[in-house]
Structure 1
Amino acid sequence: MADDREESLEKRRAQLEAKLATKRVEAKMDEANEARAEVSRKGYAQAMKLSSEFIAAIIVGAVLGYVFDRFVGTAPWGMIVLLLLGFCAGVLNVLRSAGVVAHPLDDKDDKK
């Protein structure tokens, strides 16, 4: 009787250990999937940030060019020049945010 009881307990313990092992493997797989999803979300957020900075600079340049043309009366030239300046500013902002070009204040901080 005691042997049957011990054997039954050992059998249940082995089954529980097997279930725990599968649960641990599943948990590790879930953690790995979550880590990949987090990296994907960070990349998407970075892409949205860069694109919004670029588009905002172009729109600001176009609006300032339009306003400049309306007040000064230089027909399309103010719009063309400030739109191109907005495009250049947008490209520079994207390069700075991406880390390709250093921020101008970084050089001054290093010399102190």
Structure 2
Amino acid sequence: MMQDGEDELEERRKQLASALGQRRGQKTDEGSDKPEKVNDRREMSRGLKLSNEFISAIFVGFMLGYILDRFAGTSPWGMIVCLLLGFGAGILNILRSVGLVVEPEDRIKRDKK
């Protein structure tokens, strides 16, 4: 009777060992997702860069408008106009970074050829 219990335990141990080996094999396959994680980080950093470019263009437009209004006394028109120009410059910067709009120097070189 004692031998039957030991045989069952030994069989159960082998089953668990094989199941554990399969699980460990799956975990090593999941570790191969690292290139995708690196790609996700690159895309995240690109998105942050684009958002920073857009926000900084609007901020520069705001500051230029504020300074113009302080010295020229044209409040609030200088700020409104410069904010709109900053917004347009931010959109243009994003389109250039994405590659939808060609840089002016590249366009001139292309037209000469």
Task: Note if 1:35 corresponds to 2:35.
Answer: yes
Q: State the secondary structure of the residue aligned to 2:43.
A: helix
Q: Distance in 2 between matches of 1:55 and 1:61?
A: 10
> C-alpha offsets along residues 16-63 of structure 1, whole Å, 9 cap, x if unaligned?
xxx7xx76x7545423x1011011001101100000000000000000
Query: 1:53 aligned to 2:53?
Result: yes
> Structure 1 105/28 Cα, relative in aligned 2: closer, same or farther at 3 Å?
farther
Give the C-alpha shift of residue 109 in structure 1: 3.3
Q: Distance in 2 between matches of 1:28 and 1:102?
A: 42
Unaligned runs of 5+ in 2: 1-20
Aligned partner of 1:103 in structure 2 is 103
Report the TM-score when normalising by structure 2: 0.71
Alpha-carbon distance in 1 for matches of 2:86, 2:31? 45
Normalised by the size of structure 1, how large is the TM-score? 0.72
Does residue 1:65 correspond to 2:65, yes or no?
A: yes
CA–CA distance in 2 between the matches of 1:99 and 1:28? 36
- Over the matched positions of the two proteins, sequence identity in percent amounts to 48
The separation in 1 between residues aligned to 2:107 and 2:74, in whole angstroms, is 39
